[in-house]
Amino acid sequence: MSDFIHTFDWDGTSADPNDEQFGDVVEPATTDTADEFDAVLVGEPYDGAVIGRKGASGGPTALREQLSGIKTHHFDAGPVQSVGDLGDVANLEDTEWVEEAQSLAHTAASKIHEESVFPVFLGGDNSLTYANAVHLLTEDSSLGVINFDAHLDVREVRDSPTSGTPYRQLLDSDLGGGLASYACVGARHFETSTDYAQFVREEGGEIVTAEEVGEDSVSAIDTALESMGDVDTVYVSVDLDVLDAAFAPGVSAPTPGGITTRELFRMLRLVASDPRVAGFEIVECAPSLDQNELTVKAGARAIAHFLSTLGGGR
């Protein structure tokens, strides 16, 4: 049985032949052909571990639909090209337990890693972040994570993992050398318990608040990158609730006081230029909770901005 299933047909939406869009350049891929592309998309239609409002299982399809109509040209980097789509991780929506979903996603992510392919995961809820990144914990390579998020997501795992536990799972893991560095960018005041903030500090993690991003987004992302120290590999996650609720109402937990889309896009381009980056994800996009497609538009353009730098620097 295949680990992936293709569920989307890519096609540009413009009648103008000069309008090259992602729908015109993204090609279907398999694990055998994935290494022909600068990056491959991987859908994870799952929201069984969401603490708040569900709806993120519809994220992968909505993000693809929105991305297909976005033009590929970036004024500084030129057009984005060489993107494949592996399809969705198979059978995720049929799982009964979060651990089962994490196992399926982990198996799929490991196969991508074995092919030395750069993955862009389309979530799906934040619980699968653990599965997407844990295979990067090896004896030969130290791992750091930069998490764009309103929340730290370092809750203790009690009965089962949730969308609030992925970084606790990574930090507590005894695989390889464990997670060497963790930075949360865009964290919001009054959204995290004191115990969890202290836990991150005790683990040597970095917390960059939404206020700090608003004051100077370049300095904010520089702080996060500096906190990675000399790690060999960096994994980048974007929980769309890092955006202010005005920009991203279609998430599990929208709240005011977040960062803007422009700030997010700029920081993603700076992060993507780091040669240590080995994976990227967009999570918690819930189209059924969205308003005027604001959230899915932000998520799709975040992917485009990230890919524009990734393709140009590799």
Q: pLDDT tens, 111-153? A: 998 888 999 999 999 999 999 999 999 888 899 999 999 999 9
pLDDT-derived band of residue 231, with 50, 70 and 90 as boundaries? very high
pLDDT recorded at residue 52: 85
pLDDT recorded at residue 312: 43
What's the whole-model pTM score?
A: 0.96
Distance from C-alpha of 99 to C-alpha of 278, rounded to nearest angstrom: 24
Q: How many domains does the chain have?
A: 1
Distance from C-alpha of 268 to C-alpha of 218, rounded to nearest angstrom: 10
CATH number of residue 195's parent domain: 3.40.800.10
CB within 8 Å of 16: residues ≥ 6 apart: none
Buried b / exposed e along 134-147 (16+ C-beta atoms within 10 A): bbbbeeeebbbbbb
pLDDT digits (tens, 9 = 90+) for 183-216: 999 999 999 999 999 999 999 999 999 999 999 9
Domain ranges, residue 8 = 4-312
